[in-house]
Structure 1
Amino acid sequence: MSQRKSYAVGTGLFIVLGFAALAYLATQTSSVANRHQGASYTVDAQFENIGQLKERAPVKIAGVRVGQVESIALEPGKSVADVKLAIDKQYATIPADSVATIFTSGLLGDQYVGIEYGHAKQYVAAGGKLGLTRSSQPLEEMLGKFFGAGGSADAIGGSYEVTAHFSNVGSLSAGSPVKMAGVAIGRVLSVQAEPTKLDAVVTLAIDNRYNQIPDDSAAAVFTSGLIGSQYVAIQPGGSPDMLKNGDEMILTQSAMQLEDLIGKFLVNGSGDGAKKDAGSSTTPAGKH
């Protein structure tokens, strides 16, 4: 009887200690989350997609926590989220051209804001704004970049839009990369059918850093590998005038279907054989 009683007391004590440990951990977590709310200053950052970012999420520089997300709001009439960051005052020398990016801890961890230092001599003041941002990247897009055509450029400095018409876009879709010399310089913004011209009009968003593309450049729909994703490749022309926002790329090359490639290969192969046969049959007898 006394042995059972001691077991019961031990079990009860174990449960009490377990709850006490959980309460202690909760207290410590709360204190860590709030330790930057005292001597801090607030800066703004706007993101097109915040993913699963939440208030009190960490703000980090070089992997070191320097603050936390104070608030997240969506202004009426705007398609971007306004995120306020509370940063410890001892980190008051953040260059104005620094980049704020939403990262994920590990594969399925919580999200946080990482700040990459810029090189400007001016610093972001309290109430100021980090103008250069990179939004949260959905898992689907990351998998698409891994298995697809290599991803699109991060247009952290803005982009300009141009259009191109194709008679066949294949499996090209919005979000596909736009490349030049094999390097991603933008992305496909939209793919729509043109009811009057009976073709497809593709809108390309090109990073503002690549604003010296001649306006007679050609756009082609290519495929990464044999069965990879499709993308738009730009081959620069020689015009002294450059593409600008709202322009249309006249020279285009549509997607080549696998059936067409096989057909061309078979036709060319049989054609070469026929030419060889014809050449041998017309050779004069005296020339053998």
Structure 2
Amino acid sequence: MTFNPQTGEAMAVPGYIGAQAALKGAEVQAQEEAKYPYTVGADREKQQTQASLDMMQVTGPDGNVYYRPRAQVVGQAGGGVGGGQGGQPFMASRNPSTVQAEQELNKNWVSGTFQPTIDAANAARGTLASIQAVRGLDLQTGWGTEAMAKGANFLVGLGFGGEEAQKLASNAQAFQSVSMDRLLKTLQSQSGPQTEGDAQRAAQTWVSLQNTPQANDFILDFAQAQAEMQARKAEFYQKALPIARRTGDLTEIDRRWQQVQGSIMAHPLMRKWQPKEGQ
């Protein structure tokens, strides 16, 4: 400070205030410049961390809605749905079109596959009882009234109407012919990797046995093996249904069954009808 010689009052030295302001400004500028890299880096790190934690809903190429980190969505972490650096996405909701299609497919499967499988198994139980009745016939005495009645009951179990079954069971040859034809058609209608081969082998065996005393035994063994396989299939489907419902794809049961279905010709009753080696 100094004194004004004219007034005697104290006053700042000329230029002092400007110099002090320039000094303070330079000091602040130097401090901010020194902090700048750290401040910006820390703020960027904070924002990137927050972006990797914040989840956003996005629609994937499959039409399903997923939750993804905001860092992925804005391109900071890179990657698309299902990949990238900011964490794996998880599904928020499924594509409505996909859900509707699966629901329709499952509905058709229940009515077109599952229920017929259960119905076939229920019918097979009655067939097993009629098989035992026919096994008890003494065919050496001929195809009499008792044989016709039990044969007709067996044919009803295979799906023939009552009156039709009675007519077809009027003699042993007719009974055997229609029984075998129906059993082969039923086997051929089943899906599976070995079904066609099984049907061919059964047909070939039948050709060699028809009009022989063993013909009836082969038919009854074939029918029992088929009925027991239908019962096993129904049990498999009923046990697998709750599991498949959790995944949403009931048709998976068909694919799993085909893996364990096996050949009907491997049934214990059918093994004795296999051609001996060299024949």
TM range (shorter): under 0.3
TM (normalized to structure 1)? 0.22
Query: Which structure: greater strand fraction?
Result: 1
TM (normalized to structure 2)? 0.22
Query: Which structure: greater helix fraction?
Result: 2
